[in-house]
C-alpha cells in the first residue's frame, strides 16, 4: 500500500517537473535576440562593434528641413524627438543603421522615414579613431517621451549581436501634455 502511494506521488512529482521544464523553456526568439549593453544619458555604451554616447534630447512641434534645396516644414500629430549621439567604431569600419525609441508603456517607435534626404541621419558609416555625430529623429505620442529607452543596433535583425539600450530618464511634462521645453521649430539644416 505504502509502495503504491509512493509510486503515485513519484509520478506526480515527475509530471510537475516535466511541466515546469516545458513552461520555463526559453523561446527561440529570446535565445537568438539581441544582446543588450545598457547605459544612461551621457554614458559611453560599448557594444561589440561600436560605442555610442547620447549627448542631448530635444523635443519640437515642427522640424525645418531642406528638401532638394527648398525649405520644408514637417509637422506631426504627436511630438518630434531629436537625439544627438556620437558614434565610435571599435576595431573596424562599420555602419549603424537602426534606432528605435521604446516608451514607458513598451510602444516602440522606429526612426522616422520622412526625412530620408537629410544629412546626419542613420545609416551612419563610422571608422575607427574617427568618432562621428549623428541625429536620431523620432515621431511619437507625447506620453511616450518620459522614461524612455533608446535602442541602437547595427542592423535590423540584430540576432546575437549587441544592441545599445540607453535609458533617457524622466522628462517633465508641461501644462499642455507635451514634454517641458518643447520648442516650436527645430532647424535640421544646421550642422549637428
Binding site for other proteins (CB under 8 A): 27-29, 72, 74-75, 77-78, 100, 106-110, 112-114, 139-141
- Pick 130 or 157: Cβ nearer other proteins: 157
- What's the length of the chain? 192
In the complex, what is the shortest distance from the CB of residue 106 to other proteins, in angstroms, rounded to a whole number? 6
Residue 49 CB: number of other CB atoms within 10 A? Answer: 18
* Region label for 181, one of left (φ > 0), alpha (ψ between -120 and 50) or beta (otherwise): left
In the complex, what is the shortest distance from the CB of residue 108 to other proteins, in angstroms, rounded to a whole number? 5
- Pick 49 or 112: Cβ nearer other proteins: 112
- Pick 47 or 142: Cβ nearer other proteins: 142
- Pick 79 or 124: Cβ nearer other proteins: 79
Residue 159 DSSP symbol = T
In the complex, what is the shortest distance from the CB of residue 99 to other proteins, in angstroms, rounded to a whole number? 11
In the complex, what is the shortest distance from the CB of residue 185 to other proteins, in angstroms, rounded to a whole number? 15
Quote helix, strand, coil % in the chain, to nearest 5: 15, 45, 40
Q: How far apart are CA 84 and CA 64, in angstroms?
A: 16
In the structure grid, which three cell numbers stand for residue 101, read together?
Answer: 525609441
Amino acid at each position: 500500500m505504502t509502495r503504491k502511494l509512493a509510486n503515485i506521488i513519484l509520478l506526480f512529482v515527475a509530471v510537475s517537473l516535466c511541466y515546469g521544464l516545458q513552461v520555463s523553456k526559453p523561446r527561440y526568439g529570446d535565445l537568438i535576440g539581441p544582446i543588450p549593453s545598457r547605459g544612461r544619458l551621457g554614458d559611453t555604451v560599448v557594444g561589440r562593434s561600436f560605442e555610442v554616447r547620447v549627448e542631448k534630447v530635444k523635443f519640437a512641434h515642427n522640424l525645418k528641413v531642406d528638401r532638394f534645396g527648398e525649405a520644408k516644414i514637417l509637422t506631426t500629430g504627436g511630438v518630434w524627438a531629436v537625439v544627438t549621439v556620437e558614434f565610435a567604431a571599435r576595431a573596424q569600419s562599420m555602419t549603424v543603421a537602426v534606432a528605435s525609441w521604446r516608451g514607458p508603456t513598451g510602444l516602440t517607435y522606429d526612426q522616422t522615414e520622412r526625412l530620408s534626404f537629410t544629412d546626419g541621419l542613420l545609416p551612419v558609416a563610422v571608422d575607427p579613431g574617427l568618432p562621428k555625430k549623428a541625429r536620431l529623429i523620432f515621431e511619437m505620442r507625447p506620453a511616450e517621451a518620459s522614461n524612455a529607452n533608446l535602442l541602437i543596433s547595427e542592423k535590423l535583425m540584430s540576432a546575437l549581436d549587441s544592441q545599445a539600450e540607453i535609458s533617457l530618464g524622466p522628462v517633465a511634462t508641461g501644462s499642455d501634455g507635451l514634454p517641458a521645453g518643447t520648442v516650436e521649430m527645430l532647424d535640421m539644416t544646421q550642422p549637428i
